[in-house]
Structure 1
Amino acid sequence: MGRTDPAVEWNDASVQWFDESILRTERFATAIHGGEALVTSMPQDPNSLTGEEIDALWSIRDPVNGEIKLKKALTEYPASADELHTQIARSQGLQGRFHEAWEEIAKVSTTPHEVVQIRVQLESGRLKNTSGDTKESQAHFLKAFALAKQGHFDFYAVDAAHMLGIVSEGQESIQWNEKALKLAANSKNERARKWRGSLLNNLGWSYFNMGDFNTALVTFESALEFQQTTGNPVRIRIPRWAVARCLRALKRYDEAFAIQNDLIQYPEQGYVSEELGELLLVMGRPDEAKPRFRRAYELLSPSLSSDPNERTRLAPLKELSQ
C-alpha cells in the first residue's frame, strides 16, 4: 500500500499509537531561576486540582468516560473550571463532537490564567486539526507557542512546537520538531524534558513522509533508545512499531515481520494487525494477510471512522480483508 503514516501526538504521561492517550495541562506558578523560568506547583487549593490531577482524569483510550469524570470534577473543584473546560473540549473533539467542544472552549472565563490562555489556543488548534482544518490550526499553535515562550512555560512551548511539527510538512515539519527537541533539551522543567521520545518519533515520521527512510530509521532507533530508559513497556512498543514500519519501507521484510510478530502478542488496537497484513502481502502470502486486515478493520473502525484525517484508511482495509 502507498499510505504514509502520520506523526503521533504524545506527551510525558501517556501515549498515542496503539496504546494511546493524550493529556496536557498544569496550573502552576512561574519561578525565575538562573534567568530561565521554572514551573513549580502552586499550593493546593481545596477547590482546585493540579494539572497532573486533571490529566489523570481522562485518556484518549476512553474519552467518553473521561468526559464524565471531567464534568464531575467541575462541580467538585470550581477553581479549576477553566482548565477542566479545555480538557472536556479535548475529549469531545476526540469523539467527533466538534460543535459541543467549541461551546466548551467558549465557557472559559474572559480573564483566564496565562497557562489557560495557552491551553485554549492549543486545544483550539487541535480541534481544528482533528476536524480536518489543518491550515487554520497552525494559527492557534503559533499563538500558543508565542504565549508560552513569552511566559517561559517550557512544557507548553514544546507542546505547541510539536503540534506545529505535526500540522506542517516537509522541511518545515522537521524544523519545528528540531526546535521542540532543542527546547526540551535545554529546559530545566522535567515535564518539558520528557518530550524527547515523542519528538524523536514525530521527527522520524517527517523524514519518513519525505521518503528519507534511512534517516527516519536512525531517528526511530534514537526514540527507542530514549524510551527504553523509561522502562515503560507501552512507550517502548511504540518506537519498535515505527522501526519495523521503516524496515518495511526499506524492503527489509524479514526483520520488520519479526518485530511486528512479537508486538502482536500485546494488546493492540489494530495497527500491528494492519502492518502484519501489509508485510504478508509483499512477502507473497495474501491468504495469511486477509485475517490480519480483517482484525485491523475490526479494531480500527471505532476510532478512525470519527477522524476525518484517517477515515479513508478504513476502506482499503475492508477490501483487503475479503
Structure 2
Amino acid sequence: MEESTERSANSSEHRGTQQREIDRLWDFADPVASEERFRAASADPERSPHKRAVMAAQLARAVGLQGRTEEALAVLDGVAAAAPGSESGPEAAELRARVALERGRLHAAAGRPEDALPELTRAVREAAAAGAAFLVLDGLHMLALTDGGHEEEWAAEGFDVLAGSRDPRVLRWGIALHNNLGWTKHDADDPVAALHHFTLAAEAAEQYGSAEQLRVARWSMARALRTLGRTEEALAIQRALDAERPDDPFVTAEIEALTGVRPTIEA
C-alpha cells in the first residue's frame, strides 16, 4: 500500500511539473510563437518519447488556433499512431486523454460538435484513468461549452472534481467552469443564478487565477447586476474597472449602457 501511494504521489508530481512547463511554453495571444516552441520541444532528443508526444499534442493545438485544422488533426494522428492504444499505465492513458482532448477541441472550434463530443468524453474517461484531474477538468469544461443543453450537468461533474483537489493549478478551473455556467444562466434569463456563478468565478480568480481572469469575472458580475436592475452596484464595478484600464471598450460600453452617456475622466 505504501509503495502504491508513493507511486501515485510521484506520478501526480510529474504531471504537475509537466503542466507547468506546458504553461510556460504557451502564449495563447501568439499561437505562431507557441507553435515554434512546441515544435522544438516535440523534437527535442533530450526528452523522453512520452514528453515529446505530450508536446506534440500541444503543437497540434497551437496549429489549430491558427485555423489549420486538418494539419493539426494530422499531427494528433501521428502522436496516436506512435503510441499504441492498448498500452496500459497512467502515462499512456494521459497521452490518450491529451490526444482526444485536442481532437475534440479542434472539432468544436470547426463547428463539428457531433465529432467533438465523443472525443471529449473519451478524453475525460482516459484522464480519469490516468488520475489527471487537470485534464479531467479541461475535458469537462470543453463538454460544457460544446454539449448544448447539458452545460449544467458537465459543470456539476467539474465541481465534484474540484471539491477533491488542493492543487491550485487544478482549482483554477473553477474560474472557467463558473464563468461559463454563469453565461449559460444569463442567456437563459436567470440573472440571479448567473450572478451567483460569476461571483464564485471572481472568488476563485482572487485565490488561484490571474489579474485578467479576475477582471473578466468582475465585469461579468456587473453585467448580471445590470440585468437585475441593480444599476448603482453595476456602475461602481465598471467604474473601478475603467479606472484600472481606461481603454477597455467592453467596460466603456457598459458604462454607456448604465448611464446613457459616454464616460469622462471625472465620471
Instruction: State the alpha-carbon separation in 2 of the partners of residues 64 and 178 from structure 1.
Output: 35
**One-letter amino acid matched to 1:240:** R
1:58 aligns with 2:26: yes
Q: Which residue of structure 2 aligns with residue 72 of structure 1? A: 40
* Residues 32 and 135 (structure 1), Cα distance of their counterparts in 2 relative to 1, 3 Å cut: farther
Aligned counterpart, 1:8: none
**Per-residue CA distance 1:45-75 (angstroms, 9 max, x = gap):** xxxx833213311121111111111112233
Alignment-derived partner of residue 201 in structure 1: 179
Whether contact under 8 Å (2:181, 2:197) holds in the other structure is yes
Displacement after TM superposition at 1:99 (Å): 2.0
Q: CA deviation at 1:103?
A: 1.9
Aligned partner of residue 111 in structure 1, secondary structure: coil
Distance in 2, matches of 1:73 and 1:261, equals 44
The counterpart of 2:221, out of the listed 243, 247, 267, is 243
Contact 2:205/2:213 (<8 A) preserved: yes
Contact 2:172 2:208 in 1 (8 A): no
- Which structure has more relative contact order (CA 8 Å, sep 6+)? It is 1
Say whether 1:41 aligns with 2:13.
yes
Aligned to 1:303: none
* Number of the residue aligned with 2:260: 284
RMSD: 2.9
Identity of aligned residues (%): 29
- CA distance in structure 1 between the aligned counterparts of 2:23 and 2:233, rounded to whole angstroms: 37
Q: Return the alpha-carbon distance in structure 2 between the equivalents of residues 55 and 284 of structure 1.
A: 42
* Cα distance between partner residues in 2 of 1:153 and 1:230: 19
Equivalent residue for 1:141? 120
1:155–1:189: 8 Å Cα contact kept in structure 2? no
AA in 2 matched with 1:169? G
Give the Å deviation of 1:273.
Answer: 0.9
Q: Relative to structure 1, is the Cα distance of residues 61 and 175 closer, same or farther in structure 2, using a 3 angstrom cutoff? A: same
One of 78, 90, 95 as aligned partner of 2:66:
95
How far is the alpha carbon of 1:281 from its aligned partner?
Answer: 4.4
Give the drift of 1:254.
3.9
Please give the secondary structure, in 2, of the residue aligned with 1:169: coil
Q: 1:190 to 1:70 in 2, by over 3 A?
A: same
Q: Secondary structure at the match of 2:198?
A: helix
CA distance in structure 2 between the partners assigned to 1:62 and 1:69 by the alignment = 11
- Report how far residue 164 of structure 1 moved: 1.0
The structure in which a higher percent of residues are helix is 2
The offset of 1:125, in angstroms, is 0.7
Question: Structure 1 residues 40, 149: CA separation in 2 closer, same or farther (over 3 Å shift)?
Answer: closer
Partner Cα distance (2:138, 2:98) in 1: 10
Contact in 1 for aligned 2:171/2:208 (Cα 8 Å): no
**Farther-moved stretch of structure 1 (255-264 vs 129-138):** 255-264
Residue 25 of structure 1 corresponds to which residue in structure 2?
none
How many residues are matched? 248
Counterpart of 2:249 in structure 1 is: 273
Q: CA, structure 1 residues 259+133, in 2 after alignment: closer, same or farther (shift >3 Å)?
A: same
- For 1:122-161, list aligned pairs within 5 A: 122-161=101-140
Given the alignment, which residue of 152, 156, 172 partners 1:174? 152
Return closer, same or farther for 1:41/1:144 CA change in 2, 3 Å cut-off: same
Hey, what's the Cα distance between the residues in 2 that align with 1:162 and 1:258?
Answer: 31
| Residues 1:107 and 2:78 aligned together | yes
Tell me if the contact between 1:122 and 1:140 (Cα under 8 Å) persists in the aligned partners.
yes
Return the match for 2:99 from 109, 120, 127. Answer: 120
Specify whether residues 194 and 251 from structure 1 end up closer, same or farther in structure 2 by C-alpha distance, changes over 3 A only. same
Distance change >3 Å, CA 190–CA 134, structure 1 → 2 = same
2:89 corresponding residue in structure 1 = none
TM (norm. structure 2) is 0.80
Distance 1:205 1:146 in 2: 26
